[in-house]
Structure 1
Amino acid sequence: MLTPATIARVVGAALEEDAPWGDLTSTTLLPAEATATADLVAREPGIFSGGAVFTAAFALTDPEVTVDLHVGDGDEFAPGDVLATVTGSARSILTAERIALNFTQRMSGIATVTAAYVRAVEGTAARIADTRKTTPGLRAFERHAVASGGGGNHRFSLSDAVMAKDNHLAVLQRSGRDLAMALREAFARLPHTTHVVVEVDRLDQIPAVLDGGAHTVLLDNFSLDDLRAGVALIAGRAQTEASGGVDLDTVAAIAATGVDVISVGALTHSARALDLGLDVRID
């Protein structure tokens, strides 16, 4: 969850990194009493995300600066739309400008690409979800952006759910452990509310995973035919998730196989920042 405390911590660190001893240009060039009004303007279409983060960049720089948001997170916008208006000390606005834009451009880019994936699977039962392939330190921001675009969130951290991936299974195999038995033993140690996901890369691994009681079977890098076969084999006894090889050209066909969830690392690790600008009014 994107909490005020998280926003203040991350944005505060970014502001300190960008202006550790103040904004040398603004403080030496601009009169201290100068005020300005600036508009956040879209240069291209997209889905907005990061309004609270954008606002915090200015508030943490100067509490007297006001930010009026004209769109909400998840709203669609077109080129030329004014998304927010910032008013106050010119020095303060220009000091916070880059950090405010960096976060909002990044988050809106993630929201926009997520919305494209969500649109691509319309008419199917599949949900689009993110992964832990996020920018270190920015996971809460990027997951919020995925939600702004209509996507779902996977586990936030390693502490939130059990997710046995290929390397976990390799260690179990090397140790001579039976997968189904290892899962049942894990369940005995876990709180009853904990979700358990097991990743497989072959159809013949699925029976042991089901026997062990996993809640979700993650079908990793399966062909479309094998995805259909996996969904049929699982037959509703666990949730099905597809991952690997997912892009906008393939996601609709993957969704049509009947999987419940499609996790897409590209939502966060490859999203392009949108072109948004902060334009100071000169009239």
Structure 2
Amino acid sequence: MKKIIKDFIKKSLEEDVGQGDLTSNACITKGTIGEAKLITKEACYISGINLAQHIYEFYDENLIFKSIVNEGQFVKKNDIIFTIQGNKHAILATERLILNCMQRMSGITTKTREFVKAVKNYNVKILDTRKTCPTIRFLDKEAVRLGGGHNHRFGLYDEMMIKDNHIDFSGGIENAIKNCQIFNKKINKEIPIIVEVRNFNELNKVLNIGGINRILLDNFSIQMTKDAVDRVNNLIPLESSGNINIKNVKKYAKCGVNFISIGSLTHSVKSIDLSMLST
């Protein structure tokens, strides 16, 4: 089990269980064995099954977990996702954490799949963003991946992405790019450089400077995006971002961009309704 997952589970259980589950301790005889199943209450693309297994293993390694479906699989209303057998106290203590995680992750996976399907006939990748829930970005991004999407940078530490405030604070887009290129040489690395442009003036400046890995077209209209694709002419990969939704994503894909990033995949999540039932 990866450290990030183990730490997350530990802190989450400390938050919820604390010194013990008072209701279960009062109502249920210690050490008694039971069984439960997780079911869907609406159709969705399910995710978080592996995390659920990790949670059970962390809390009580004697619990018997049996997955019925696979991660990212489409499931119908009332389908059984998995069964869990063992100590009743352990099953109840972990129930809410598992439901909270899987409901959110499945919501992200389902929404991502909708976007991926919408652009399936175009050579474009759907990306997530850093607009995730703090401390559980790794879960949000895993849910995107299970929906057929692709992960953008995980944080400020793995790519350089020059945005509007960087440009303004640097005294212009040329300075921002050159400073990043100098930084790469200084540390003797080739960290990818992505540049966000707000208009054609900035786009032309980026093309003249060169030496970057991707251009992000920020809040460009459909027509502006078409014109930008023609202007760049495959010299540098292009990403569309800003105010893109399920109604217009296909139009952006038709323009010929290489990537489309969708912040709402993770910042506006509709959780999927799941339920844990004793059997």
Pick from 48, 53, 57 the counterpart of residue 55 of structure 2: 57
Amino acid at match of 1:196: I
Q: Structure 2 matches for 1:107-256, cutoff 5 A?
A: 107-173=105-171, 178-179=175-176, 181-189=178-186, 191-210=188-207, 211-256=209-254
Pick from 75, 97, 100 the counterpart of residue 98 of structure 2: 100
Tell me the distance in 2 between the aligned counterparts of 1:4 and 1:184: 34
Distance 1:51 1:4, change over 3 A: farther
Distance 1:55 1:209, change over 3 A: same
137-146 or 52-61, which deviates more: 52-61
Distance 1:6 1:182, change over 3 A: closer
Structure 1 unaligned regions, length at least 5: none
C-alpha deviation, 1:177, in angstroms: 6.1
C-alpha deviation, 1:184, in angstroms: 4.2
SS in 2 for 1:25: helix
SS in 2 for 1:37: strand
C-alpha deviation, 1:12, in angstroms: 1.4
C-alpha deviation, 1:57, in angstroms: 2.1
Distance 1:75 1:132, change over 3 A: same
1:69 matched to 2:67? The reply is yes
Tell me the distance in 2 between the aligned counterparts of 1:23 and 1:180: 55
Q: Structure 2 matches for 1:12-51, cutoff 5 A?
A: 12-51=10-49
SS in 2 for 1:143: helix
Aligned residues of 2:162 and 2:176 also touching (Cα < 8 A): no
- Give the CA RMSD over aligned residues: 1.6
Structure 2 unaligned regions, length at least 5: none
Amino acid at match of 2:129: T
What is residue 275 of structure 2 aligned with on the other side?
277
Tell me the distance in 2 between the aligned counterparts of 1:85 and 1:262: 38
C-alpha deviation, 1:171, in angstroms: 1.0
SS in 1 for 2:240: strand
C-alpha deviation, 1:191, in angstroms: 4.3
Distance 1:177 1:77, change over 3 A: closer
SS in 2 for 1:6: helix
C-alpha deviation, 1:180, in angstroms: 5.3
Map Cα deviations across residues 141-171 of structure 1 (whole Å, 9 max, x no partner). 1100000000000011111011000000011
Map Cα deviations across residues 37-85 of structure 1 (whole Å, 9 max, x no partner). 1111011111111112111222222211111111121111111110100
Tell me the distance in 1 between the aligned counterparts of 2:227 and 2:171: 24
Tell me the distance in 2 between the aligned counterparts of 1:30 and 1:84: 23
C-alpha deviation, 1:187, in angstroms: 4.3
Aligned residues of 1:196 and 1:214 also touching (Cα < 8 A): yes
SS in 1 for 2:101: helix
C-alpha deviation, 1:178, in angstroms: 3.9
C-alpha deviation, 1:193, in angstroms: 3.5
Tell me the distance in 2 between the aligned counterparts of 1:187 and 1:88: 54
Amino acid at match of 2:200: L
Distance 1:203 1:99, change over 3 A: same
